[in-house]
Amino acid sequence: MTTALNSLSGRRKPLQEASLLEGPMLLLQSIRGFRTNRSLLWLACVPVALFGLGIFNLAAFAEELPELNAAFLANNLWLLVATILVIFMNAGFAMVEAGMCRQKNAVNILAKNLFVFALAVTAYWFIGYSLMYGGSVVDGWLYFKGLFFDPAVSAETISEAGLVPTVDFLFQAAFAGTAATIVSGLVAERVKFGEFVVFALVLTAVIYPIAGSWEWNGGWLNSVGDKEFIDFAGSSIVHSVGAWAGLVGAMLLGPRIGKYVDGRTQAIPGHNMAIATLGALILWIGWYGFNPGSQLAMDQWVPYVAVTTTLAAAGGAIGATVISTMTSGKPDLTMIINGILAGLVSITAGCGNLTLVGSWVAGLIGGVIVVFSVSALDSAGIDDPVGAFSVHGVCGVWGTLVVGLWGFDIQGDGSPLGLLVGGGIEQLGIQALGCAAYAIWALVTCWIAWSIIGGLFGGIRVTEEEETMGLDIGEHGMEAYPDFASSGN
C-alpha cells in the first residue's frame, strides 16, 4: 500500500482518506515549502532545539525553593493582575485614537496600536529590560546586564516576599508599550506604518529604558542632593518621554492635509465618539494597574493610591468640561475625554505623595491645562490629532512638578515635601530638573532616530495621494467599515 511518505511519487492520497498517523504529514506536505525532504528535515530540528532550550530552563530552575508564603503569593498575584490591567490599556489607546480620527484611517490606527505592543514587548525583552534594570556600566547613567533576562526564582526572593523576575519583567514591558503607544496618537493619519514600527522598536529597546534607569534603577536622578526625584508611576518617565518622542515625529511630518487653510486652523472631527468614550473608560480602569501596581506589593497603600488616582481623574474631567464650556459655549466631549486622561496623567507621578484633596486639585488643574494646551499647539502649527502631547506631555510635566508644590512623604514619616506646604523649594527644583532632563533626552535622541529612519526609507510621511485616499487602503489594502459609505471622510 502506498503510504503518505512515498505518495509524492504517485497519486497523493486525499486528506479525508488518510489515517490518524498519515494525516499530519499529508497536511504539512500540502503547504508550499514543506514538500521536500530537506524542508521536513529542518522541521524535525524544531523539537530538538526546543528540547535543548527545555534542558537549559530546567537547569536554571534547579535550585531548591522554600515553601511559598502568603506575602509572596499576594505580592506577585497583585502585580500580575495590575500588569493585565496595564496591557488592557492598549485597547483604550486604540479606541480613543481611532474614534477621534477619520474613518478612512481606522484600520491603520488599530494596526499600529495592536502591533506596537508586540514589538515593544519583544524589544524590551531582547535588550530594553537589561538597559533599564541591569548592572552599572557608567554609574548613574547607563546600565546593562546582557541580552534577555534570567527568569530563575531564588530562595531569597520567596522568603523576602519579592517579585519573581518574570512578573516584574511583564509589568515593566507593559509600561514600555504605553510609551510607544503615546507616539501613535501624535503622528496619526499621515505616518508610514513601517517607519513608525521601526521607531517604536528603537524607542522601547533603547531610548525609554535608558531614561527609566536614571530614576527607577537608582540612577543619577535617584539621589540629587539630600532628596530624590519622585515619579511614582511615570508622569515624566513614561508619559512625557512618549509625548516628546511623538512631538518630534509630528513636527517632522507636518500637519495633515486640510488642517490649516489660509493660516487658520480647521477642525477635523473624529468619526466615532462612542468608541472614543469607551476607550477613555477602559484607560481609566487600566490606570488602576498603572498607578496602584507601581506600589510593587500588595500592602495598605494600594487602595490609597487607587483613590488618589480616581479623584484626580474626576477633577480633570470637571476642569476640562467647565473650561471648554466657557471657551466654546458648549461642553465638548473630546475635552471631557482628554480631561479625564489629563487628570490621570497629572496624578501618576504623585499618586503616593499627595493628599486626597491635593490629588483632586492636581487633576482639576490638569483638566484646565489640557484645554489651553490643545489650543496653543494648534496655534503653533503643530498637528496633534488626538491631543496626545497636551495630555501626556504637558500634563506629564505638570504631574511631576505638583509633587514639589504640595507633596508629602505620605508613605514615610508624613513630612512635607512641597514648597506650598512648608517643605521648601529643593524638591520643586529636583522635580523641574527631572522634567528638563527627560525632555532634552527624548527630544535629542528621538530627533536623531526619526531623521535616520526617514533618511534610510525615503521619508516617514505617506504620499499626498495616499493620505487623501486614506491610510487604510494605501497602507493596509482594507477598510474598517467596507459596508458603509465613506461620506464622513
| Residue-by-residue pLDDT tens, the chain, 489 positions | 444 334 433 445 554 555 555 655 555 565 555 555 555 544 555 554 444 444 444 444 445 777 888 998 999 999 999 999 999 999 999 999 999 999 999 999 999 999 999 999 999 999 999 999 988 888 889 989 888 888 888 888 888 888 899 999 999 999 999 999 999 999 999 999 999 999 999 999 999 999 999 999 888 998 877 788 999 999 999 999 999 999 999 999 999 998 898 888 888 899 999 999 999 999 999 999 999 999 999 999 999 999 999 999 999 999 999 999 999 888 999 999 999 999 999 999 999 999 999 999 999 999 999 999 999 999 899 999 999 999 999 999 999 999 999 999 999 898 999 999 998 999 999 999 999 999 999 999 999 999 999 999 989 999 999 989 988 898 888 888 887 655 444
Question: What is the signed CA dihedral for 40, 42, 47, 50, rounded to 10 degrees?
Answer: -160
Other C-beta atoms lying within 10 Å of the C-beta of residue 43: 12
User: For residue 1, what pLDDT is reported?
Assistant: 40
Other C-beta atoms lying within 10 Å of the C-beta of residue 489: 13
Which grid cell sits at 161?
Answer: 516576599
First vs last Cα of the chain: how many Å apart? 63
pTM value is: 0.84
User: For residue 255, what pLDDT is reported?
Assistant: 93
User: For residue 267, what pLDDT is reported?
Assistant: 85
Query: Which residues, in sequence order, are CB contacts of 55 under 8 Å at separation 6+?
Result: none
Measured on CA atoms in the order 306, 307, 311, 312, is the torsion positive or negative?
negative
Q: What is the CA radius of gyration of the chain?
A: 25
Contacts 24+ apart (CB under 8 A), 451-460: 451/252, 453/195, 453/198, 453/199, 453/202, 454/195, 454/252, 457/192, 457/194, 457/195, 457/198, 459/192, 459/195, 460/187, 460/191, 460/192, 460/195, 460/196, 460/199, 460/249, 460/252, 460/253
CA dist., res. 100 & res. 83, Å (int) = 26
CA dist., res. 290 & res. 306, Å (int) = 10
Question: Which class for 306: exposed (0-12), middle (13-18), buried (19 or more C-beta within 10 A)?
Answer: middle
User: For residue 23, what pLDDT is reported?
Assistant: 53
User: For residue 59, what pLDDT is reported?
Assistant: 44
User: For residue 476, what pLDDT is reported?
Assistant: 87
Question: What is the signed CA dihedral for 120, 123, 124, 128, rounded to 10 degrees?
Answer: -130
User: For residue 50, what pLDDT is reported?
Assistant: 45
User: For residue 323, what pLDDT is reported?
Assistant: 95
